[in-house]
Chain A
Amino acid sequence: MLSRTADNLYWLARYMERAECLARILDVSQRLAQLPAAYGGSTNEWSSALLTAGCADLFREVHGDAVNEANVVAFLAFAPENPSSIRNCFEIARTNARSVRTALTMEMWETINSAWLELKRYSTKNMTREELARFLAFVKETSLRFDGAAYRTMLRNDAFWFSRVGMYVERADNTARILDVKYHVLLPESEHVGGPLDYFQWASILRSVSALTSFHWVYRQSVKPWLVADLLILNAQMPRSLTSCYQNISRYLDDIAAYYGRQGTAQRIARSNLTRLGNSRMEEIFQTGLHEYIDSFIAENNRLGGSITEQYLV
């Protein structure tokens, strides 16, 4: 396969995943910001949304300190000057898809192309809450359709594997960043647990990775912060947990290596990250510091991205 084709497939999957993640972040922030202050509602939610999306600095360059709902929504969803806005994610995804049309199935192409056509119907200015909700639902739906189309229609060869690796590397990054921004509300069992206020913060984290219901099925108890951390980092059943992402990354990279008959740095890094997750215990993570743990995970995940590029995509 052409290196450029693999590169396009990998990034196409990353951008579709990123768009969905942004939609969830906006969804959750809006929900939290609407709560009365007594229940933990605050305008800070829009700052954390920017931090989680990794574009707080860029936002400040454009809007200064005017961190409010209208500005953040416009910036994360539509702003052309934000390279990772949902609109840009879809634009880039479609550009990539056009360059590798021959490597996509008709179903995948149609999902991306019709989403791109549909995108034009959403006006970017003065969106009502209802319009925004409809827009976010459309984004999530598109990502689901794309994922489903890929899963159900692609040949199981390197094209499929590169696209899956891209999706899981992006997903791991997103989950880690959600945790990184909210780590201060996630406390070890021994600590004094905050009042019912914090419930909404914990629930919002779960919601942002669509895991609120899963939480109850897995732990069968009320939401506790250390369990939230456990679910998102170590629990292999949870499809957005770091462990689950790395199980998939490692598996698909091994498929690629077997197909090409050669292992490389990317496979080694993926395996070592997976092993590290497998050997981690929640108590230890809290002991050494959740923030530090997540920080070093994000760095490792980036290192993997770099080595995949070097090994296959250039």
Chain B
Amino acid sequence: MTVAFDEMTNVDGSIRTAYAALSRWLKEVPPDVLDYRRKEAEFIFRRIGITFAVYGDSDAQERLIPFDIIPRILTNNEWQRLSRGLEQRTKALNLYLKDIYSRREILKAGVVPEDLVYQNPAFRPEMNGQKVPHDLYVHIAGIDVVRIDAETFYVLEDNARTPSGVSYMLENREIMMRLFPELFSENRVAPVENYTDELLATLKSLAPVTSSSDPNVVVLTPGIYNSAYYEHSFLADKLGVELVEGRDLFIKNDVVYMRTTEGPKRVDVIYRRLDDDFIDPLAFRPDSMLGVPGLMSAYHAGNVTLTNAVGTGVADDKAVYSYMPEIVRFYLGEEPLLKNVPTWRCREPDHLKYVLDHLEELVVKEVHGSGGYGMLIGPRADKAQIEMFRAKLKQDPTNFIGQPTLALSTCPTFVEEGIAPRHVDLRPFVLTGADRTRIVPGGLTRVALQAGSLVVNSSQGGGTKDTWVLDE
């Protein structure tokens, strides 16, 4: 494997411009001060209760995501390029979804194979021919981006369902400003704290036409046992809207109401952090205790906006991902500004053969998997694991894709041994309203804390960093 691109230090040891001030500061500040501040940060996180749950880990019902105190820095120039690409990609995702649930031009044109849609478990026939408010489906997208060298960013994954992590982006900045005010006076960092304002404006712009001039927005959570509950309550709080559970809502004459101490109150926009499967036991899983019976009929009647729309999962799994460049070209007639990671679709026989022949060097992922579960990292796997995947691949090739093991860029990170490079990725959040697209500069940087590890997922021991876009 080639040496990874480090975002601070060039191969010749010189420091990249964006990191000049930070690098000077890192040299001056004694390690014990860093260590002390790191502990302080952890103490604050724990006290505020910024935790997440790991499924299947009963000992640690609530865990902290490790926070690294060394920021990750992008120049304004790099960011402008990225953000144009993100906007383009989200636009294409929305057009694709509208097409899939109406005329299906892209399938007729043979650009995307039909079975990728019809046999996709996230495809919702209930949405066929249904009009959604403002023709928009993905209002809040989290597009995972990795960096390979000074010039190249790849999109690793599109998250078009209920992407999480934005609360960490906001809290990380808050903590950094509290712990290291001196750094912010030396670097002009673009603010992110307006995210929730932008989100509220986005959500309100999406209200159905039948709602009042000041639409009632709520955040719908599965409840306190959900791994991202902290984020749900955080967002509701910052948005200044009610955080509701399914049982707080009911439907009457196809209108959604919430139960309040003063009687029923109409709800216009639901920012739902609940998967499609669970939102309405009458339409989807009948055993769901978390949803609202009748919600889908209110939705179809056009009396409530769900963000994101129902059925967006058909656009963000890893098999569809590999068609994203074609999807961008098909709807926008433009070249994609952001590249995809080269991807072998195991559904295609010659691709499958290549993947099987190169298992030792590839990353193999399940098409519908997420969170770093169920994947093979060839160079780090032992023989048994490789053989297990070989069997799985042969049995059900359509369920897998293969990608080269990327040398993700590294950033200086404060670990046991001191400051060392660790691999990072980036999840920026793209907000699409009826009026316009909004992206706050930066996003959530995730970092693999183990030396050499490429897995940044919080469920697998990854941490987070504050992400700076320098406002030159």
Which of the residues A6, A101, A260 comes within 8 Å of B233, measured between beta carbons? A101
| Contact of A4 with B245 in the complex, beta carbons under 8 Å | yes
Check: B229 CB closer than 8 A to any chain A CB: yes
Q: Which of B172-180, B259-267, B280-288, B324-332 contacts A (4 or more CB under 8 A)?
A: B259-267
Q: A98-B224, A102-B237 given as contacts; is B261 within 8 A of A158 (CB)? A: yes
Q: Which of A109-117, A203-211, A235-243, A275-283 contacts B (4 or more CB under 8 A)?
A: A109-117
| Contact of B224 with A95 in the complex, beta carbons under 8 Å | yes
B interface residues with partner A (beta carbon < 8 Å):
46-49, 223-224, 229, 233, 236-237, 242-245, 247-248, 258-262
Closest to A158 in B: B261
Check: A138 CB closer than 8 A to any chain B CB: no
| Contact of B49 with A109 in the complex, beta carbons under 8 Å | yes
| Contact of A3 with B259 in the complex, beta carbons under 8 Å | yes
| Contact of B47 with A114 in the complex, beta carbons under 8 Å | yes
Q: A6-B261, A158-B261 given as contacts; is B229 within 8 A of A98 (CB)? A: yes
Contacts of A6 in B (CB 8 A): 261
Contacts of A114 in B (CB 8 A): 47
CB distance from B119 to the nearest CB of A (A): 39
Contacts of B48 in A (CB 8 A): 106, 109-110, 113
| Contact of A1 with B261 in the complex, beta carbons under 8 Å | yes
CB distance from A162 to the nearest CB of B (A): 8
Secondary structure at the B interface, as helix, strand, loop or mixed, is: mixed
Which of the residues B223, B224, B237, B248 comes within 8 Å of A2, measured between beta carbons? B248
Secondary structure at the A interface, as helix, strand, loop or mixed, is: helix
- Tell me, in angstroms, the Cα distance from A265 to B237 when the chains sit together: 32
CB distance from A158 to the nearest CB of B (A): 6
Contacts of B259 in A (CB 8 A): 2-4, 314
Contacts of B233 in A (CB 8 A): 98, 101-102
| Contact of A101 with B237 in the complex, beta carbons under 8 Å | yes
Closest to A5 in B: B242
Check: A312 CB closer than 8 A to any chain B CB: yes
Give the contact-size bracket for chain A.
20 to 34
CB distance from A25 to the nearest CB of B (A): 30
Contacts of A106 in B (CB 8 A): 48
Within 8 A of B (CB), among A219-262: 256, 260
Contacts of A4 in B (CB 8 A): 245, 247-248, 259
Check: A68 CB closer than 8 A to any chain B CB: no
- Tell me, in angstroms, the Cα distance from A314 to B260 when the chains sit together: 8
Within 8 A of B (CB), among A90-115: 95, 98-99, 101-102, 106, 109-110, 113-114
CB distance from B62 to the nearest CB of A (A): 9
- Can you sample 21 A-B contacts with CB below 8 Å? A2-B258, A2-B260, A2-B261, A3-B259, A4-B245, A4-B259, A6-B261, A95-B224, A98-B49, A98-B229, A98-B233, A101-B243, A102-B237, A102-B242, A102-B243, A109-B48, A110-B47, A256-B261, A260-B262, A312-B261, A314-B259
CB distance from A90 to the nearest CB of B (A): 14
- Tell me, in angstroms, the Cα distance from A158 to B261 when the chains sit together: 9
CB distance from B453 to the nearest CB of A (A): 30
- Tell me, in angstroms, the Cα distance from A313 to B237 when the chains sit together: 21
CB distance from B279 to the nearest CB of A (A): 18
CB distance from B178 to the nearest CB of A (A): 14
